[in-house]
Amino acid sequence: MFSTCSLLPSCYSPPFPTRLCTQRLQRGLTSSPFARGSALATPASLLSAGFGCAPVQAMTVERDLHMATGDGEHSYAVNSIFQRKTVMETWPELHKAVKEAVKSLSPGTGSMMVAADLGCSSGPNTLLVISEVMSTVRAHVRDNGGTMEVQFFLNDLPGNDFNLVFRSLEELHSPVAVAEKAAVTPCYVAGLPGSMYTRIFPSESVHLFHSSHCLIWRSKTTPQVVVKLFREQFEKDFWLFLTLRYKELVPGGRMVLTFAGRKQGELPMHGGVARVWELLAEALQHLVQKGHIEKKKLSSFNMPYYSPSVDEVTQLIEKNDLFDIEDIRLFESNWDAHDDSDGDAVPDCSSSAENIAKIIRAGIEPLIINHFGEHIIDELFMAYTSILEKDLEKGKAMCPVMVVTLKKSMH
């Protein structure tokens, strides 16, 4: 969620006024209890609820959302160290889930394990997840004997830079990997474009799902003035995601999900994730004031993003009743992944601001360019960097990250 919302309660005139969003029909299931009758059901319901409407070229998430492509200076591949660090924090959960998933291989189908990374993006993090899963599987095979083949699917939205992913797969074929492949645990990698809010696998065909830093992205945009609507869209998406993956997982299959969350007691419009978005909203405002962005363009922009609390996620999973929670925890990670210093103070606000701005830019540059045009991008991120630098004088920008391991329920 693009949380400019901390500006809301006092004046209720957010920098991004309301807009109507394109309502994309969810393909696939309709079993979500939120699917009908919610405030998001139709644009008309929003109008009748009294919300405004800006005439806009609607963003569609499936079309417009992807990380910055390639491996150049501003690409996600080069600027995803924050995500890499936090994903590596979740290795204990991943190792445990892989070992459990291996147990779910049915004797009849031999030793073919299917794993999938949902929202794999492009760059080193994509390979990191495959390597970690494969080394855990290989350790299992070494300890227990036998052989095992792994089919590994890399999923993301169609705009993802799959070409870069496929080119980088060569790195997996290092002499060591080749030797191991020739031995007992070959890994066959395939790309799978499509939204994880649709069915993407045959029934009961997957043993392990992994997904990092994706579930905060909503399947569609929402009017951003009402925090409740963002939460409802998150609930709706997460419910759908659980229902779809339940069908695709084999009995006993596991999912390890990592995404930015919210600390207990923190309001959606406050805290770690909201802070970086709010400062970006300030930078956009700055460009409006300079006349470099039209006010109505800004009015029609929002971020399809929401970071939930552990309680929200737990309650939803329990209500959905298709998965058992094996582990759930929240940890904090510095948005500036290069800063490993102790304490709250930022040692070098200028370099931290640059590092954070690069991470945010790599994540949202395509959305910004699609909406505002390419001409504003450098100026926007220069303004953002200097606003961030000032803000960091207050202390480090920390991001709460949630990791949850789910087991498919037996009922």
Ligand X SMILES: C[S@@+](CC[C@H](N)C(=O)[O-])C[C@H]1O[C@@H](n2cnc3c(N)ncnc32)[C@H](O)[C@@H]1O
Q: Which of 83, 136, 307, 352 binds ligand X (CB under 6 A)?
A: 83
Residue 251 buriedness (CB in 10 A; 0-12 / 13-18 / 19+) = exposed
62 or 149, CB closer to ligand X? Answer: 62
Question: How far is Cα 197 from Cα 220, in angstroms, rounded to an integer?
Answer: 10
Tell me how many degrees the CA angle 149-111-127 measures, rounded to the nearest 5.
30
Q: Select from 7, 105, 133, 214 the one that contacts ligand X (CB under 6 A).
A: 214
- Sequence-distant contacts of 176-182: CB under 8 A, at least 24 apart: 177/134, 180/138
Quick note: the x/- pattern for ligand X over 230-259, rule CB under 6 A, is ------------------------------
Instruction: Compute the distance between CA of residue 22 and CA of residue 137 in angstroms, rounded to an integer.
Output: 43
Cα 150-153-159 angle, rounded to 5 deg: 165
**Binding status of residue 196 toward ligand X by CB under 6 A:** yes
Residues 378, 381, 230, 334, Cα dihedral to 10°: 140
Please state the closest distance from residue 401 (CB atom) to ligand X, in A. 10
Q: How far is the CB of 199 from ligand X (least distance, A)?
A: 12
> Which residues 340-359 are close enough to bind ligand X by CB under 6 A?
none
212 lies in the site for ligand X, by CB under 6 A: yes
Answer yes or no whether residue 3 interacts with ligand X by CB under 6 A.
no
> How big is the site for ligand X, counted in residues (CB under 6 A)?
24
- Contact status, residue 310 vs residue 261, Cβ threshold 8 Å: yes
Q: Is 197 in the site for ligand X (CB under 6 A)?
A: yes
391 makes contact with ligand X (CB under 6 A):
no
> In angstroms, what is the minimal distance from the CB of 111 to ligand X?
27
Q: Is 213 in the site for ligand X (CB under 6 A)?
A: yes
Residue 226: helix, strand or coil by DSSP? coil
CA of residue 399 relative to chain centroid, distance: 13
Exactly one of 6, 125, 285, 352 binds ligand X (CB under 6 A); that residue is 125
- Please report which helix (H) or strand (E) contains residue 212, including its range: strand 206-212
Stretch that binds ligand X, among 21-29, 37-45, 114-122, 178-186 (CB under 6 A): 114-122
Binding site for ligand X (CB under 6 A): 65-67, 80, 83, 87, 118-121, 125, 155-157, 160, 195-197, 212-214, 217, 219, 363
